[in-house]
Chain A
Amino acid sequence: MSTSATDGALPDGFDWLSLDPEEEVVWAGNPHSSSLVPALVVGVPLSLVLVGIPIIVSAYLARENTEYVITTEALYKKRGVLSRDVKRVGFEKVQDTSYTQGFFGTQFGYGTVDISTAGGSGVELSFDSVGDPKRIQELVNERIRAREGRSSDEGESKGDVLEDILVELRAIRTAVEGPTDEGSDLDHADEEAVEVETDSPFVDGDDR
């Protein structure tokens, strides 16, 4: 793990992550330790002929240098021991989520979560051998849900604003039509309105 200046919410080693001001980390993790078992099974016997040691070391380093992060806005995956490969998928783009657990995965409680987006063919981002994949999928679902809810709950929607505009226009119309029903008065008010605001076609458009 590389260490760097923490920026409060993030633990060490997350210098690769650049978040928006209002973006918060919901979950962070890396591959399950049991995912090293295959490399050990292959590597330990082979270490007699020195080939095994690099296998074990590289598997270990790969695991240590892989980070998965879920924020309020997106999913991130960082890979690479010396290089650095960071992928981000925003929740608004997520189409399908799936998770797979093999035989060992179900025994040790790890699995792979796949996130597919509309771009290209199928899987865009996968959290490989991550602990408790079902919970990760639930988290992703929750976050998507929360974002959808927020976009409609927070403040007002276009619909609300349009409602307000309609209210105003009706008031304008009643104002334009005036308290009196004399035609001359009406015409006069109409002209006045057009002079005040030429941008507004609604004023002209009231059917008399």
Chain B
Amino acid sequence: MTDDDATPVPEAVPVADDESVLWTGSPRLSAAAPAAVVGLLVAGIGLAVAVGPAATDALGLGVAALSVLVGASIPALSVLSLVNTRYVLTDRAASVKRGVVGRRVVRARLSMVENTASAQSATGALFGYGTVTLETAGGGVSFRRVDDPQAVRRLVDERTRGEREDEGASIPGTLDSWRAVRAEVRLLRTALER
């Protein structure tokens, strides 16, 4: 599918032995672009202040150093959180693992997925990334900024379609009532064949 398939399943995500992993991915680092812009702005403004109105050299240097530090740390934190975000899709469930120091793992069962959606912004369509959302009645999970969201969504749909058919073709009435019908029909047959 994509290069993302190479990413290993993080050990924080529980995968049963008889569960097969269909796809793993992580958000694109381009998601950190806004943070990078903010960081650059902070650093730029700080430097401008240091060069311009700040009279004394010591103060100017301090402001410049601080602003550059803050400006660099904003995108760095963003990248850290992105790098530590992992998406895992198995034949049974979709999981999202997040967290740098701690961790949070959300798991939604595919059999409970009500709706699937994949959305691509203008830039997303251009560069081939987007967001896949799997909605369950209890909330659901979303894979943000992954490569080829359509394909991921198709994978989910393929898995859930089988389940749907089972449910869609679900037979009305209870098992007991059908057993009663069977008993009647058997009696009928014996009566006929007599």
**Interface residue ranges, A against B (CB under 8 Å):** 94-103, 105-106, 116-118, 122, 124, 134, 137-138, 141-142, 144-145, 148, 156-159, 161-162, 164-165, 168-169, 171-172, 175-176, 192-193, 196-197, 199-200, 203
Please, how many angstroms separate the alpha-carbon atoms of A161 and B173 in the complex?
Answer: 12
B96 to chain A: closest CB distance in Å? 9
Q: Of the candidates A100, A101, A164, A176, which one forms a contact with B182 in the assembled complex, judged by CB atoms under 8 Å apart?
A: A164
A10 to chain B: closest CB distance in Å? 27
The number of residue pairs between A and B whose CB atoms lie closer than 8 Å in the complex comes to: 123
User: Chain B, 156-176, contact with A by CB distance < 8 Å: what is the 0/1 string?
Assistant: 000000000000000101010
Q: Of the candidates A124, A156, A171, which one forms a contact with B189 in the assembled complex, judged by CB atoms under 8 Å apart?
A: A171
A111 to chain B: closest CB distance in Å? 8
Interface presence of B77 (CB below 8 A): no
Interface presence of B191 (CB below 8 A): yes
Docked-complex contact B191 and A197, CB < 8 angstroms:
yes
CB neighbors of A among B1-45 (8 A): 12, 14, 16
- Given A99-B105, A176-B192, A192-B192, 15 extra CB contacts under 8 A: A94-B109, A94-B112, A95-B136, A95-B138, A95-B139, A96-B136, A96-B139, A96-B140, A98-B106, A100-B103, A100-B105, A116-B139, A118-B136, A159-B171, A161-B178
Interface presence of B154 (CB below 8 A): no
How many positions in chain B have a CB within 8 Å of any CB in the partner chain?
39
**Interface residue ranges, B against A (CB under 8 Å):** 12, 14, 16, 92-93, 99, 101-109, 111-112, 136-141, 171, 173, 175, 178-179, 181-182, 184-189, 191-193
Docked-complex contact B137 and A118, CB < 8 angstroms:
yes
For B178, give the chain A residue with the smallest CB separation: A161
Docked-complex contact A169 and B185, CB < 8 angstroms:
yes
Docked-complex contact A97 and B102, CB < 8 angstroms:
no
Docked-complex contact B184 and A197, CB < 8 angstroms:
yes
